[in-house]
Amino acid sequence: MNGQIPEETIEEIRKSNDIVDIVGEYVQLKKQGRNYFGLCPFHGEKTPSFSVTQDKQIFHCFGCHKGGNVVTFVMEMEGFSFFEALKHLAEKSGHTLPESYQPVNQNQQVSQESQDVLNAYEWLTKLYHHLLRHTKEGKTGYQYLIDRGFTDEVIDTFQLGFSPNSKEFIVQFLEKKGFHPQTMVKAGLLSMNDQQEVSDRFRGRVVFPIRNHLGKTVGFGGRSINNQEPKYLNSPESELFHKGRLLYNFDLARSHIRKQEEAVLFEGYADVISAYAAGVTNGVATLGTAITEAQAKLLRRYVDTVVICYDADDAGVQASYKAAKVLKKAGCTVKVASMPNGMDPDEFVQQNGAERFRKEVVDVSDTYMSFLMRFLKKDYNLNLEGDRIQYVESVLDEVALIDRPVEREHYLKELANEFELSMDTLTQEIMARRQKIGPGQDKMVQKSNTSMAKAPYSQKKLLPAYHNAEKQLIAYMLNDRTIAEKVKEELGGSFNVEQHQIIVTYLYAFYEEGNGPDVSLFVERLPDPSIQSLVVQIAMMPIHQDISDREINDYIRLIRVEHSDEAAIKSLKAEQKLAEKQNDHVKAAQIAMQILEIRKQLKNSIH
């Protein structure tokens, strides 16, 4: 599974990466008791059922049942092979894997073509940036950015660059580095015309590197500075570059988003960069398109609150409305910043400075409902009685969707005061609407927020007593080597559930190798993901630290009785089948009675 990498190296890397820190880079975790909970990144959910246990260094989702340790988590999240996940964690913890360590299965690696493209992007990012900052050819691009208010520090932080207005320069550079032109055309780094001539796609443009969440450049955005069309040009969609899944600056903003418990969503690169220079370091942007469901879900995994900060023109307000709807649907708490005087965020920062941008724009953002009320107003002439009534009706439709009674009352009072309506009438209208939506909403919401602690250990169906006894016994075996040795001596592999037989067989071998109780390390030795998940699920069951020998013996007795009786029943069933073949129906009936009696005794012994 781990190629030529020594076990002690794997162990050192795994122990150097705390699972809470690594998972916390992808999921907003909140401590509850000894564990951390968050929304599962592997399936859609609105109530957290994803749990991380720091002392055991494992994770488990009680919804989709995925589970494992820090290495398997990174493998799942990134689609990495074991080797790639280990390499990624090694880089994070300051370890170096020698080049001699190679994965057993090369097919698990990122395709060679994709790796070549990543390397080409890395070279071009450095080259474009060097050309902008240190060459005569890059002066026009550099001056353009300085005129926009960008400092050298910001230009360096975002690795902004410039592509010279030459058809051959970048093509020749890539060829000298060993990259095939056809591969680069396919990846969108180079363009090909009808005459099959290859040239730089971004020539004559200021270049904005677009990085994935790991900080690797996977695309470029090019800004025209000489009236070229189009004004903005992105890399085309590819295996590495998916506009609908990436957010500009997410890699740099992620830690700030978690720290500030808020993300600011902008429309363009320049807005993000200006805001960053102004101290708004938790800003991200979509890549020239409306926000997608995937991007909204990505933000929701990290944070509850998203502030939309789009342009103040009609198109910007319309885009804010659409984005607010998508983010709200993903479960985000949405705020909308109001840009004064029809300005865009970049212009405001340049004219008014950093402090005013934060205080007058970001910090005073409207709530989702306040923005919505303002947005809906533009469709009505409130001087007309009919339009006033229609506007109130449309606002009531939205207020009815709010789950918190206090929040609903707040907006109803606003309506009542503005249009001189009675609270009783408005409240009746809301109640009628909520009954149509579905009764008991408030109770359901309240219940869902308090059921999280109970959810992990609830069973969907009642399992036989021996089944639960086996799981409970394995939980103690995972926690205590002495208990495992006792069970091995008295039961061996004679568990009744096949998956449990597999687990204890591996566990006996694990302890025989001299390992102590370490679920995270043990999980790594298991070849089957479904068995890994089951082990993690069992490891997260509550156990008593001072379990008595008598209780352990009771579990063993239950398992042994079931095993011996099931063996007897199996033998009797074979006899019964033979009697039926020989048409000895009396004997077959007698055997059936014996089987029933054994099952009855088994049931009585269990209860």
Maximal C-alpha separation, the chain: 104
The pLDDT value given to residue 565: 55
**CATH class of this structure's domain 7-101:** alpha beta
Strands 50-53 and 58-61: antiparallel
**The predicted structure's pLDDT at residue 444:** 39
Yes or no: say if 308 and 265 are a contact pair by the CB < 8 Å rule.
yes
- Read off the tokens for 74: 């990174």
Confidence (pLDDT) at 599? 63
Residue-level pLDDT at 458: 43
Query: Is the CB of residue 171 less than 8 Å from the CB of residue 199?
Result: yes
Angle between helices 70-78 and 82-93 (to 10 degrees): 110
Contact 366, 335 (CB under 8 A): yes
Residue 569 confidence (pLDDT): 60
Q: Which CB contacts under 8 angstroms, 24+ apart, belong to 203-206? A: 203/163, 203/164, 203/165, 203/166, 203/167, 203/170, 204/163, 204/164, 204/165, 204/228, 205/141, 205/162, 205/163, 205/233, 206/132, 206/141, 206/144, 206/145, 206/160, 206/161, 206/162
Options 3.90.980.10, 3.30.70.250, 3.40.640.10, 3.40.50.720; which CATH number does 112-234 get? Answer: 3.90.980.10
Per-residue pLDDT of 312-349, as tens digits, reads 999 999 999 999 999 999 989 999 999 888 788 998 98
Could you tell me the CA-to-CA distances from 599 to 10, 464, 496, 595 in Å, in that order? 49, 13, 15, 6
CATH of domain 465-601: 1.10.860.10
- pLDDT value of position 113: 83
Distance CA 348, CA 483 (A): 67
Q: Indicate the DSSP class of residue 108.
A: G
CA–CA gap between residue 268 and residue 248 (Å, rounded): 8
pLDDT at res. 59: 95
Domain-by-domain residue ranges, the chain?
7-101, 112-234, 250-372, 380-437, 465-601
pLDDT tens digits, one per residue of 98-135: 666 655 444 444 567 888 999 999 999 999 999 999 99
CATH C-level class of 250-372: alpha beta
Parallel, antiparallel, or unpaired: how do β-strands 333-336 and 283-285 relate?
A: unpaired
Cβ–Cβ under 8 Å, residues 475 and 495 = no
Do 7-101 and 112-234 agree at the fold level? no
DSSP code of residue 463:
P
Q: What is the pLDDT of residue 494?
A: 80
* C-alpha to C-alpha distance for 89 and 22, rounded to whole angstroms: 9
CA distances from 139 to 134, 166, 191, 211, 584 (A): 8, 15, 24, 25, 101
Q: How far apart are CA 136 and CA 166, in angstroms?
A: 14
Confidence (pLDDT) at 153: 95
**Which helix (H) or strand (E) covers residue 252, if one does?**
helix 250-260
For residue 340, cis peptide bond before it (omega within 30 degrees of 0): no
> Splitting the chain (607 residues) into consecutive groups of 10 residues, what average pLDDT does each group show?
71 94 92 92 86 94 91 88 88 80 51 86 97 95 93 96 93 95 91 90 96 93 89 90 94 90 94 91 93 93 93 92 94 93 87 88 94 93 93 94 92 94 94 79 39 42 78 93 92 86 91 91 88 92 87 86 61 73 78 70 53
Order the strands of the 30-32 sheet from edge to edge: 30-32, 35-38, 50-53, 58-61, 67-68
